[in-house]
Every structure is written in structure tokens, then in C-alpha cells.
Amino acid sequence: MKIGIVCYPTFGGSGVVATELGKALAGRGHQVHFVTYNQPARLDLFSENLFYHEVSVSNYPLFDFPPYELALASRLVDVVRHEQLDVLHVHYAIPHASAAFMAKQILMTYGIYIPVVTTLHGTDITLVGKDRTFKPVVTFSINQSDGVTAVSQNLKDDTYKFFEIQKDILVIPNFIDLTRFSLKPKDHFKKAIAPSGEKILVHTSNFRKVKRTEDVIKIFAKVIKKIPSKLLMVGDGPERSMCEQLCRDLGVTDNVRFLGKQDAIEEILSVSDLFLMPSQSESFGLAALEAMACKVPVISSNAGGLPELNVDGLTGFLKDPGDVDGMAEKAIFILEDEERLATFKENALAHAKEFELSNILPMYENFYLEVIEQS
């Protein structure tokens, strides 16, 4: 197939899923065309089947807000026509699904019907999408998609709850490439971070409010009172400086390292003992799956799709968002006993294997075929 992929080209979960999916599809012999405003962060390999078409927006002085959606729709028309794509797969509804709808309408004037698959990722529904500012457009563009997928059952349920959707939504969970995300021998790095054999806790995110990064610091401040440990904070975003200040206030600065944005996440996860994800809302929790694939158990909130990934008492524990005491107590429970920690690590990997790329990829391929056939 010739597949067009539209996504945010950043380290954000939806962009990562879209890019990894495109790379895997190219590996299976499909021709994949990314249409984005920047080279996707994870589009780091050369393949004869991978193409990148940049969307550039002219910044005329008249525009207070450069019309990205229009530039994207125009670029999509161009790419679909000249590359003769079979299907467009847009990740994150806003504004990709509506731009694809507009491109589809324009393409009809050329006698071309391009089926559109929209994948819902989370905040496009739970935070941004249900905002009054976007809701009519999000509802319309989901209903106008030829196929709709969601990354968890919970996100599917929320979509029906918050919007008037007539379309069927297929749940295709996020996936993990175990050839990349697996335990790597990084003992020298572990010694450098934790020279006295301290346990290593880790959090990776975009440091947005929804991630409750302050809870990560508060949980750690409780854990370190019982277990000699270090905390690695990976990523960057609006809440980072608040977290740095909180570390000072709680007197844990010497044991917390802010590593900023990192490419080789699997190496950091390989030296880690416990992953913290106390999010207020989380449709899937790809970062937690990456941790589990590297044998790192997870202490998370029970928000959104997290219970579909993190199995309470098996791969980690789940508590209500904001339950810092509960999460700290369970973190200590896992870390205080070497044998117990080893069991949780094994369980984390075993469960991550269920989300292996090779299990999930055919679901997308079959869905594309179904949508193309019906159009």
C-alpha cells in the first residue's frame, strides 16, 4: 500500500507512535509518506520506502495566527495526487482530521477518493478536543473519517461519552519494538548515577500539568526516607522549573537529576528500578510501556487507559491520581525486597510482550485494507 501519515513530529506519544508505525510499515514493504511541519523526531533511518514531505506555512504580516491547517490540507492534496496514495492515516484529531477532511473534499474535484483513518491518542479527546473551542470540528471530522481507531478501550469510551459519534471506533493499542526497548548492559552508567547501589526511580514525560510531575518529586521524597535511592527526571516542559524548586524545598536536590530531552531512553530505562507515572489523565501511557519492556515495574495512577497496561499487583501498582502517600507506600513495598523487585521486573517484561509491534502492526494493515475496500 501507499500510505500517507500525518502527525506531530515531536517526542510526544502520538508522534512517536505514528513514526514508529510508519517505519515498521515501510519495513513490511509498504510505501510510507510522512506529511508534517518538521522531520519527525524518531524518523532516524533511511529506507527506500520512507518519504518526508514538509508542510511550510508562509508567515505573512497579516497573519496573527499562521493557518497551518490550510497549508497541511494543501500539501495533502498535492502528495495524495502526485504520489497516488491509497490511504491517509492521521494521528491526533486536532487539526489533522479536519485538514484531512478538507483535502479529501478538494481531491474529489479531481475525481480522487482518498480514505482517511483517524487515530485518537488522548488529549485530542480528553483535554483539548472537548473544549468548546474545538468540539464541533472534532466531532464532525471524527464522523467524517472513513475509519477511526483509539489507543485504548478507555479512550474509545471517553470519545463516545464526550462527543456525538456515529462511527465505530476500533481499539488498536499502542505497541513496543522490543528489539529497541530491552534491557541493555549499562552497568557503568548505573554506577555513575548510583555509586552506592542506590535504587533508581525514573520519570519521563513532557512535563505538562496533566503528568502531575510534582507528585513524582513528592513520592520520591517519601521513598528516599526509607530506601537509599536516586530519581531521574527525563524530558522537558512547562512544569520543570516548578519541579526543580520543589526538589530544593523538599531537600532532595542532590538525589534528583533532570536530564532534559533524551534520545536513548532505553539506556536510561535499562539502569532503572521503578517508573513513576502519576498522571491526572493518560489514554494509554506509552512511556510506561517503554519502561516495562526494559523490565521496569510501574507505579502509576489508575487514570484513563493505564489499568489496561499496568496490572495492579503484577507489573506494578495503581492508585488514584493525587494519592502520593499510596504511591510512595507501594514504591517502597516493591523496592524494599530484592526478590519481590525481581519478580515485578519479570512480570513487567512479560506483560510488555503482549504489546509487541509484530502483534499490533497487522491490525493496522488489516484496517487500512478494510477501509480502502469500503471506499
Q: Which of residues 96-115 bind ligand GMT (CB under 6 A)?
A: none
Which residues within the stretch 205-234 sit at the binding site for ligand GMT (CB under 6 A)? 206, 208, 210
- Find the DSSP H helices in the chain: 13-27, 68-83, 93-108, 123-126, 135-144, 153-162, 187-193, 213-223, 240-250, 265-270, 286-293, 324-335, 338-352, 357-374
Structural element, H or E, at residue 197: none
SS3 per-residue string spanning 84-105: CCCEEEEECHHHHHHHHHHHHH
Binding residues for ligand GMT restricted to 11-30, rule: CB under 6 A: 12-15, 17
- The three-point CA angle 146-152-154 to 5° equals 105
* In the complex, minimum distance from the CB of residue 245 to ligand GMT, in angstroms, rounded to a whole number: 22
Bridge partners for 190 per DSSP: none
Residue 284 binds ligand GMT (CB under 6 A) = yes
Amino acid letter, residue 302: N
Q: Which of 229, 283, 301, 347 touches ligand GMT (CB under 6 A)?
A: 283
Distance CA 79, CA 32 (A): 11
Question: According to CB under 6 A, which one of 122, 235, 278, 297 is a site residue for ligand GMT?
Answer: 122
For residue 286, state whether it binds ligand GMT (rule: CB under 6 A): yes
Are 287 and 277 in contact by the 8 Å Cβ rule? The answer is yes
Task: Specify the residue, 163 or 194, whose C-beta has the smaller distance to ligand GMT.
Answer: 163
Which residues are CB-neighbours of 329 under 8 A, at least 6 positions away? none
- How far apart, in whole angstroms, are the C-alpha atoms of residue 21 and residue 176? 10
Q: Decide whether 229 or 310 has the Cβ nearer to ligand GMT.
A: 310
Fill in the per-residue mask, 238 to 267: x = in contact with ligand GMT (CB under 6 A), - = not in contact: ------------------------------
Query: Could you say which residues in the range 33-92 bind ligand GMT, by CB under 6 A?
Result: 92
Nearer to ligand GMT, 9 or 297 (CB): 9
Largest pairwise CA distance in the chain: 68
330-349 footprint of ligand GMT as x/- string (CB under 6 A): --------------------
Find the binding residues for ligand GMT in span 123-142 (CB under 6 A). Answer: 123
Instruction: Decide if residue 174 touches ligand GMT (CB under 6 A).
Output: yes
Stretch that binds ligand GMT, among 8-16, 241-249, 319-327, 365-373 (CB under 6 A): 8-16
Residues that bind ligand GMT (CB under 6 A): 12-15, 17, 92, 121-123, 151, 174, 206, 208, 210, 281-286, 304
